[in-house]
Structure 1
Amino acid sequence: MALNTQPNLTRPDDFYEALIDMHRGLDDAQSQSANAQLILLLANHIGNEATLLEAMRRAREGALEG
């Protein structure tokens, strides 16, 4: 499965708002835990190691650039 980097969310602003709301009221540790759990749930859903490794590589590169 190739990593899809093209816009693919029907309502990206609504998703972003829901993502922000997921963190509302959480302290830093809880917020980091929620992020980690979300990542693992989505990784399990994707299930393709090559795709996940490519996503991790790109995310790391993006973090280093920003």
Structure 2
Amino acid sequence: MSLILEPNIPDPDGFYDELLRAHEGLTDDESEAFNARLILTLCNHIGDREILRAALEAAK
């Protein structure tokens, strides 16, 4: 399995709106903590260290 880097989210604009709404009312610190929890939740869901390592490199 390899890291998918092409757009792969159905209705990406709708998802982006959901993501922005999830941050509504949060302070900057709360927003950063939310992002960290979201990242760790998604990493746990993926679970594959090779994929996670590739994602770290792609995000640099």
Report the TM-score when normalising by structure 1.
Answer: 0.86
CA distance in 1, matches of 2:24, 2:53: 29
1:1-66 correspondence runs (5 A): 1-60=1-60
Which blocks of at least 5 consecutive residues in structure 1 are unaligned? 61-66
Alignment-mate amino acid for residue 45 of structure 1: H
% identity of equivalent residues: 45
CA distance in 1, matches of 2:24, 2:56: 26
Which blocks of at least 5 consecutive residues in structure 2 are unaligned? none
Superposition RMSD in Å: 0.7
Report the TM-score when normalising by structure 2.
Answer: 0.94
Task: Report the CA distance between 1:7 and its aligned residue.
Answer: 1.2
Runs of 4+ in 1 over 6 A off after TM superposition: none
CA distance in 1, matches of 2:47, 2:26: 29
Aligned residues: 60
